[in-house]
Amino acid sequence: MSAIIERINVAFGGRSAVSETDIGIMEAMIEIGATSTEIRAQFGYSLEAIEAVRLTQRSSPYRILAS
């Protein structure tokens, strides 16, 4: 998990952008099919952070796809 946080923080110029808890929340929301806009509206995370987390996730066979 720390490697993921490091990559995300590097994308933000080295400053600490998100915690492991934040990443877990974003991963869970992505897993259930929430859009980046929905995650941002609900939790206030930046779109850049959400997309960085989304890029680190593998495609899950359990992911619910929005129709």
pLDDT for residue 17 is more than 90: no
**Token pair for residue 33?**
């099919």
How many angstroms separate the CA atoms of 61 and 43, rounded?
25
Average pLDDT over residues 48-65: 75
Domain membership of residue 65 (yes or no) is no
pLDDT at site 4: 66
pLDDT for residue 3 is more than 80: no
**Token pair for residue 63?**
């992911």
**Token pair for residue 22?**
């934040």
Domain membership of residue 63 (yes or no) is no
Domain membership of residue 25 (yes or no) is yes
C-alpha distances (whole Å) from 1 to each of 21, 24, 63 are: 10, 10, 20
Domain membership of residue 47 (yes or no) is yes
Total domain count, the chain: 1
Domain membership of residue 14 (yes or no) is yes
Domain membership of residue 66 (yes or no) is no
pLDDT tens-digit readout, 30-45:
988 899 999 999 998 8
Backbone angles phi, psi at 20, to 5 degrees: -60, -35
How many angstroms separate the CA atoms of 21 and 25, rounded?
6
The rounded percent of the chain whose pLDDT value lies above 90 is 19
pLDDT for residue 25 is more than 70: yes
Q: 43 is in which domain, residue-wise?
A: 2-56
